[in-house]
């Protein structure tokens, strides 16, 4: 089995100032490529600690990937440690990265200082992969401690993520990981345990070279990833189709996706539009819609009606309905959805009213939400009850509302 | 120097399925208490890998904190490894955790199965700190490999966070970390490099036992943390007051806080209210306001006007203004702010119109935002230009808008 270790370098991680997302991003990419991550380690900007950790990991794994410590300031010392570890006698200038340093600084309207030029200097034993997103080069050291390869990536998260494809390409050109194919489907509206029960027989009957992973997320539901070790694409596809048949309308996408992206696709295809009216979700649904680039093609707008007066005046929810049924009710959810649809002229609309927390009220426990969806076939409502803290309740309310809207648009309600 | 190592255990971290937030949360707490984190390591659910890592870290640090692998299922093996490592001859039942297991499962309406009862069994050498948030106990093993102490915490993030105060209390009862006091101030509206220049003289004059840390965050600005090693509270307070004097209206809070919380405090004190109108921020500002519990006391509502028709019809922005000045303009930002204030009757309002990305338009580059604030003293607008990707532009637009509103409410505009 081809194994890798990931080593993130920087005091800012050890004092908890930044959360290390590089390790997870790199691990995900390696794992999907059939490379087993043996361990992750974070060390500070101290030469001995870095060298200790790298010595150990290079003995354990054929591939070691580091991030961080490649900046131009005094506390960035990864390069010096790697020069020593690789037995480099000196540094050389990499013309490709030098050109990039000039280009990047010019783009930012900055002068090129000696400290910047030094970024293009690499230990003589390093091979360079040009980093197009920053001044620090990506470096490859081969045959370290015998036969391990070390990839040194910049620590800035978007630069590290940007380096992954080139690093993976180099790995696949020099190593032979297990052949592996993955397929994803996205599921919303069922708990992990219930899902596991529902597909138990199918899962038990999977051939030994196929494996199903459950990857749950509050906002996007459960990503089911089916993997074939050995890589028989035809059998994988067939098993996936069977799984989709079992799950029916619980499936909202046949690739790694999110509810707001899936809804966006449906609306773009049909040329239809959507709006929303939010009480307890307080803008989260609109935020999710508009986080998708190109959403202005189908998302018209939303009203967050926290105050009752806004529900009445802006959305036109009759005071009588609120009085009779309470704010958290099917009737108010329906009136809010209808109100914002009327206001914006959208094809569909979705509305939420509920209690995210910390407390419930005299009528409903905390975690209660009524969702309303309105469209050409009329209005539908549904109620859910969750038991999380305020932040997670808001996320679950928003995701549930998007899923209810998705089912309506798909003609499943 | 008292040092600690953090070891997170679980395959889900190594395959990048979950991002490890436990290490950062624990590191932050340790560092604030004057304990130096030497390294962080993540290993999978494999006994040898766990034992290897713990042996190594116990030799290096007086304190080792683990999270994960304490669940009731077969793949959770941390407890067995710790039993062996501590030389425990058997397990014993902890009555406090047993009671908690019954209480928690009853609260969830679940039967207590043998697998749940096993959660209260701990290696005989373990001391238990009852975990009130989950069924797995927090365990303390003293004098491991001579004189190190190991704390085993559950891996579920909110349970791990919940365990930190008790673990810190135990550490402080048994070890003597450096005496350290921290004070925070929150700053918004200045780049880290410019801030550093502005306070360079003050920082250079700090006594050797005081240290300033810059902790930047897209949404909340820069947290400046001033620490006194040795712990002279009076001198720390005096230095902090001097710093606040230098920074003036850049400072928005004298504790770890956020713009939406700081604004909420101002409004609660004055009994005033706020609303917002969002174009490019698409609901993010409303989401930030409503993420604060109790915000219904001052946040009335918002309109997300993605479509021009919503700007005109709902917010009453005159078509002529849009035609003459373009959607991304001072005039439209002002009209949006005034429109939503009129609509909701709030004391203040804030509005955004801009281009979050991926592309700009013929008039403005991507990253441009106009912000409008309206209130009893009239309307003010400001323009910013950022150069990030869509997601980060949305965050910076929203934070800048909140800060502009904060300055208006504080009578600084």
pLDDT (tens digit per residue) in A99-151: 999 998 887 777 888 888 899 999 999 999 999 988 999 999 999 988 899 99
Cβ of B290 and A307 within 8 Å? no
Q: Rounded to whole angstroms, how far apart are CA atoms B410 and B413?
A: 8
Q: Rounded to whole angstroms, how far apart are CA atoms B351 and B332?
A: 9
- The pLDDT tens digits for B19-38 are 899 999 999 999 989 899 99
Query: What is the distance of C-alpha A344 from the center of its chain?
Result: 31
**A18: pLDDT strictly greater than 90:** no
List the domain boundaries for chain A. Answer: 3-174, 180-253, 259-409
Q: What is the pLDDT of residue B389?
A: 87
| pLDDT bucket at A213, cuts 50 / 70 / 90 | confident
Q: If you ran DSSP here, which 8-state letter would residue B167 be given?
A: H
Choose from A45, A282, A308, A349 for mutation: most chain B CBs within 10 A: A282
What CATH class is the domain B180-253? Answer: alpha beta
Show which of residues 128-147 on chain A sit within 8 Å of chain B, judged by CB atoms: none
Q: What is the pLDDT of residue A64?
A: 98
- Report, in this order, helix, strand and coil percent for chain B, each rounded to 5: 40, 25, 30
CB atoms closer than 10 angstroms to residue A324: 11
Contact A144/A150 with Cβ under 8 angstroms?
yes
**A22: pLDDT strictly greater than 90:** yes
- CATH fold of B260-409 reads Maf protein (3.90.950)
Q: What is the pLDDT of residue B205?
A: 94
Chain B residues in contact with A291 by the CB 8 A cut-off are 282, 390-391, 394
Q: What is the pLDDT of residue B217?
A: 86
Contact A104/A119 with Cβ under 8 angstroms?
no
Q: What is the pLDDT of residue A72?
A: 76
Per-residue pLDDT, averaged over A355-377, amounts to 94
- Coil vs helix vs strand at B29: helix
- The pLDDT tens digits for A147-205 are 899 999 999 898 999 999 999 999 999 999 888 888 999 999 998 878 888 999 999 99
Cβ of B307 and A391 within 8 Å? no
Choose from A286, A293, A298, A390 for mutation: most chain B CBs within 10 A: A286
- CATH fold of A259-409 reads Maf protein (3.90.950)
Q: Which residues contact B200 (CB under 8 A, 6 or more apart)?
A: none
A108, A164, A225, B203 from A101: Cα distances, Å = 11, 20, 40, 31
Q: Rounded to whole angstroms, how far apart are CA atoms B182 and B167?
A: 20
Per-residue pLDDT, averaged over A223-241, amounts to 90
Q: If you ran DSSP here, which 8-state letter would residue B361 be given?
A: -
**A73: pLDDT strictly greater than 80:** no
Q: What is the pLDDT of residue B76?
A: 80
Residues of chain B short of pLDDT 50, as ranges, are none
Contact B25/A16 with Cβ under 8 angstroms?
yes
Q: Rounded to whole angstroms, how far apart are CA atoms A335 and A312?
A: 10
Contact B24/A18 with Cβ under 8 angstroms?
yes
Q: Which residues contact A173 (CB under 8 A, 6 or more apart)?
A: none
Q: What is the pLDDT of residue B401?
A: 98
- CATH fold of A3-174 reads Molybdenum Cofactor Biosythetic Enzyme; Chain A (3.40.980)
Give chain B's radius of gyration (CA, Å): 26
A410 to chain B, closest Cα gap in Å: 24
Token readout for A253 is 């996408």
Q: What is the pLDDT of residue B151?
A: 98
Assess B18–A contact: CB distance below 8 Å, yes or no.
yes
- Burial class from Cβ neighbours inside 10 Å (0-12, 13-18, 19+) for residue A13 reads buried
Q: If you ran DSSP here, which 8-state letter would residue A335 be given?
A: H
- The pLDDT tens digits for A282-320 are 999 999 999 999 999 999 999 999 999 999 999 999 999
Cβ of B15 and A23 within 8 Å? no
User: Residue A78's closest CA among A95, A62, A64, A96?
Assistant: A64
**A384: pLDDT strictly greater than 90:** yes
Q: If you ran DSSP here, which 8-state letter would residue A137 be given?
A: P
Q: Rounded to whole angstroms, how far apart are CA atoms B357 and B388?
A: 9
Sequence-ordered strand ranges (E) for A195-239: 210-217, 221-229
């Amino acid at each position: 089995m081809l194994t890798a270790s990931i080593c993130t370098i920087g005091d800012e991680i050890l004092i908890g100032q930044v959360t290390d997302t590089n390790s997870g991003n790199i691990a995900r990419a390696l794992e999907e490529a059939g490379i087993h991550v043996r361990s992750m380690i974070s060390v500070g900007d101290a030469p001995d600690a870095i060298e200790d950790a790298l010595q150990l990991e290079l003995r354990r794994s054929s591939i070691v990937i580091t991030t961080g410590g490649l900046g131009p300031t005094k506390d960035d010392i990864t390069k010096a440690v790697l020069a020593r570890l690789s037995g480099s006698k000196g540094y050389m200038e990499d013309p490709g990265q030098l050109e990039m340093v000039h280009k990047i600084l010019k783009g930012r309207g900055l002068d090129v200082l000696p400290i910047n030029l030094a970024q293009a200097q690499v230990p003589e034993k390093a091979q360079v992969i040009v980093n197009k997103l920053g001044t620090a080069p990506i470096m490859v050291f081969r045959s370290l401690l015998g036969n391990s390869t070390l990839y040194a990536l910049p620590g800035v998260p978007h630069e590290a993520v940007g380096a992954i494809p080139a690093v993976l390409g180099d790995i696949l050109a020099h190593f032979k990981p297990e052949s592996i194919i993955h397929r994803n489907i996205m599921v919303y509206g069922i708990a992990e345990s219930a899902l596991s029960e529902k597909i138990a027989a199918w899962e038990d009957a999977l051939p030994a070279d196929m494996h199903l992973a459950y990857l749950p997320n509050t906002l996007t539901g459960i990503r089911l990833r089916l993997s074939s070790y050995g890589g028989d694409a035809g059998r994988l596809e067939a098993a996936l189709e069977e799984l989709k048949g079992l799950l029916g309308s619980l499936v909202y996408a046949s690739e790694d996706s999110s509810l707001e992206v899936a809804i966006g696709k449906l609306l773009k295809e049909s040329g239809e539009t959507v709006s929303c009216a939010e009480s307890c979700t307080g803008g989260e649904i609109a935020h999710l819609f508009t986080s998708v680039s190109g959403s202005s093609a189908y998302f018209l707008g939303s009203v967050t009606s926290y105050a009752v007066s806004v529900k009445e005046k802006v959305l036109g929810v009759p005071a009588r309905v609120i009085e009779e049924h309470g704010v958290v009710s099917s009737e108010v959810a329906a009136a809010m959805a209808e109100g914002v649809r009327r206001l914006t002229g959208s094809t569909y609309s979705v509305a939420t009213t509920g209690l995210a927390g910390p407390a419930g009220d005299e009528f409903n426990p905390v975690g209660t939400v009524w969702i309303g969806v309105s469209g050409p076939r009329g209005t539908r409502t549904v109620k859910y009850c969750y038991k999380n803290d305020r932040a997670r309740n808001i996320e679950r309310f928003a995701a549930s509302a998007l899923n209810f809207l998705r089912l309506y648009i798909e003609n499943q309600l």
